[in-house]
Amino acid sequence: MKVIWVTFFIVLSFDPLNLRVDFLFLLNRRMTMTTQLTQTLIKNSNDGTVTQFDSLKLQRSLENLGQDFLALPLENFIERVLLSISQREMYSSEQITNLLILEGLSHISETEPDWTYFCAQLFLKKLYAESAHARHYPKEEKYGPFYELLTALESKGIYSTFLTTSYSKDEIEELGAIINPDNDKLFTYIGLRTLSDRYLARDFNKQVYELPQERFLIIAMTLLANEEREKRLYLVKEAYWAMSNLYMTVATPTLSNAGKPIGQLSSCFIDTIDDSLQGIFDSNTDIANLSKAGGGIGTYLGKLRSRGSDIKGFKGVSSGVIPWMKQLNNTAVSVDQLGQRKGAIAVYLDVWHKDIFSFLDAKLNNGDERLRTHDLFTGVCIPDLFMEQVEKRGEWHLFDPHEVRRVMGYSLEDYFDEEKGNGSFREKYWDCVNTPTLSRETIPAIDIMKRIMISQLEAGTPYMFYRDEVNRKNTNSHVGVIYCSNLCTEITQNQSPTIQDEQYTEDGKIITVKTPGDFVVCNLSSINLAKAVTDSVLKRLIPIQVRMLDNVIDLNNIPVLQAKLTNQKYRSIGLGTFGWHHLLALRQLKWESDEAVAYADKLYEEISYYTIQASMELAKEKGAYSVFHGSDWENGSYFTKRNYKTAGSSLPWDELRDKVKTFGVRNGYLMAVAPNASTSIIAGSTASIDPIFQKVYSEEKKDYKIPVTAPDLNAETTWYYKSAYFIDQHWSIKQNAARQRHIDQSISFNFYVQNTIKAVELLDLHLAAWKADLKTTYYVRSTSSAIEECESCAS
């Protein structure tokens, strides 16, 4: 208490006459508090023993912790804590810890953001103590024996036996020795709390066993277990280095399920529903099984016949897509993702489909509830021709896809414009318009666009999927077409429906024969730009990251066989990024500037180069993906479409193009930028490529709110943290256009608008995004609408 006593006497010396009464009051309060503190008892939360509260011990502990946070005013903090403790006769040790954390969190502000790291250290002490108690090792050691952790959780059924059968005891102990507890200091409080509450392994009584660095090492060992023995431990250590230093994050399902006997490792999936009763119900079953295993779902409904279409020649009997959306909505609600969150399903429909208006209204809060699907997310598949008609206020025609197939002999959704302004889709579309035997509805194109924007401002969706640009840049267009995106609009891969061919009995068993479609699988991981770029580790980081992602494909236990086959066929991965606004602030680049646009172009070209190079090196070692021949990778179109040349670039693109042609790439699709809402919090950075909402805000979780500041907030960076809702969105479009050129798939790209935005202004943003060759846009985040975060694609 010396610090506080000295403070009192110094204050008194300035004006003894006026302050003597105040001093006597404070002295009396301190004496009363001290008396009460000597009577306060502490009950140990682990073993129930009761001891006398030792205020000096607590003060010394806090002062030692404060050595890493000399700028924080700990004297006032300690005074307030002791005063709170003096109000009660007994506390549990857990209550004391919570009191310290809550007091620390209350100090978080724009001028004192480091309280979050101080509170994280307090919470770590709690985790260390709980783990030590559960695993029976001295809590002073922080981390207990690693091999014993594996065997203990295996015996309880929390871990699978995969690691102890894949690695010897000596190997496990060697790997356990690389655990670096100091890296726990990198966590903010909200990051550590998120990791602890949702991902660290606990027993069935919710006791903490696993600690943060152990989770990272378990993931590394799991993803690299099947590598060649002579280099396996080196690769595990590299993967641990990458995750432990928060240079990268893995997908939420991988973070949660690696090393465990249940769940799968991929983020989300995309299904194409066949226009048949069997196909619809089979898809619903597949979606339920994937949701149960922790996957988010994207679903293309564009092949389903519209309301009023015929069924087996009976006219006007089809009920359209809405009833099947209702069925999917029920699945999303009733089949959650491993109990962590409710199922998440996005549905996509073509803008020329006759059911487009009822589809757009399905998320609205008013109207007939029998036609509403509030728990689904919607997306619209938009050809260039529609945007052209919107811009010139032309007519638009709606068709029934079933009737188009029957009358025209082809599926309109199977075509796209191979060039901007010219191609097979518009030829087929106008052919349909000019066929008198084909029914259609004709309306102003702008009317559909108005309905899209009304829904976006009220519900945040529909997402926009620019199908022509997506398919023009499809590296595997030689073997398929892309109809829609996923739950978070960053995945664009070949799709096709699974068809049941026949069903028969044999030896008393029912045999079902299906032709599997391309059922897309998203395998995600993301670079923490603020740390990886600042520390100049991209060249070292990306190869281990790509290898880890590629191994997810072989290790994954996907409960839907056609998804497993598609995963093996394309070996698709989605390497992404987060922390873009954080990086701009560190580099002191304003969001609304040509410099930021140029930096996005340069940085993502570098990331693209290292990613392609890493996949090529893997192909040399393990072989190219199965349909590499004929792809844009092999014929070089991937590089020419993006104008990649050694001349004019600091990177040897010509040499890489030739190596790719010779050796192939391991992965048919390589890059995708996901939202990263939860994993960016764990890594202490900003989400995806998004600007921040506010410099200081409260992160709302299910049971609590936690004060959060923008990362690395200080007198230098504060000027570069402009709120998303005050940023001119045209600058965001320019940045994303520069970035999209280097991403072979797509990007979860949000619009942030004020609730006072005019329709013509929002329309202008959509037109600008389309003209800039963006492939997709995600939410329209209005200041008046509540948007549900997508966590399935967090990586």
Match 């594996």 to its residue by tokens: 150
Strand 41-43 relative to strand 90-92, pairing: parallel
Consecutive H or E run containing 511: strand 509-515
CB 452 within 8 A of CB 360: yes
488 is catalytic: yes
Q: Are 631 and 478 in contact (CB under 8 A)?
A: yes
Q: What is each CA distance from 476 to 77, 262, 421, 663, in whole angstroms?
A: 60, 33, 22, 17
Of these residues, 119, 432, 488, 790, which one is catalytic?
488
- What letter represents residue 658's amino acid? D
Distance CA 96, CA 84 (A): 10
The first and second tokens of residue 537, run together, are 């580790």
Is position 381 annotated as part of the catalytic site?
no
**How far is the first Cα of the chain from the last one, in angstroms, to the nearest whole number?**
47
The rounded distance, in Å, linking the Cα atoms of 251 and 263 is 13
| Residue 675 · residue 778 · CB < 8 Å | yes
- Distance between CA atoms of residues 658 and 644, nearest Å: 12
Strand partners, 90: 41
Choosing from 245, 474, 476, 486, the catalytic residue is: 486
Listed in sequence order, the residues at least 6 apart from 450 whose beta carbon sits closer than 8 Å to its beta carbon are 759
* CA distances in angstroms from 541 to 216, 251, 487, 685, listed in the order given: 15, 16, 27, 18
Helix axes 445-459, 759-771, angle to 10 degrees: 100
273 in Cβ contact with 245 (< 8 Å): no
Sort residue 184 into left (φ over 0), alpha (ψ -120 to 50) or beta: alpha
DSSP secondary structure letter of residue 578: E
Q: Which residue, 31, 26, 39, 29, is CA-closest to 88?
A: 39
User: Are β-strands 520-522 and 296-300 bridged in parallel, bridged antiparallel, or unpaired?
Assistant: unpaired
Residues 663 and 616 sit within 8 Å (Cβ to Cβ): yes
User: DSSP assignment, residue 311?
Assistant: B
Q: Would residue 486 show up in a list of annotated catalytic residues for this protein?
A: yes
Contact 492, 498 (CB under 8 A): no
Euclidean distance between CA atoms 665 and 631, whole angstroms: 10
Which region, left, alpha or beta, applies to residue 206 given φ > 0 means left and ψ of -120 to 50 means alpha? left
Identify the active-site residue in 154, 210, 403, 490.
490
E strands of 351-391, at which residues? 376-382
Q: How far apart are CA 147 and CA 163, in angstroms?
A: 10
Q: Identity (one letter) of the amino acid at 323? A: P
Q: Tokens for 83?
A: 């005063």
The DSSP symbol for 306 reads P
Q: What does the DSSP 8-state code read for residue 583?
A: H
CA distances from 773 to 324, 591, 767 (A): 32, 20, 10
The residues annotated with a catalytic role in the active site are 486, 488, 490
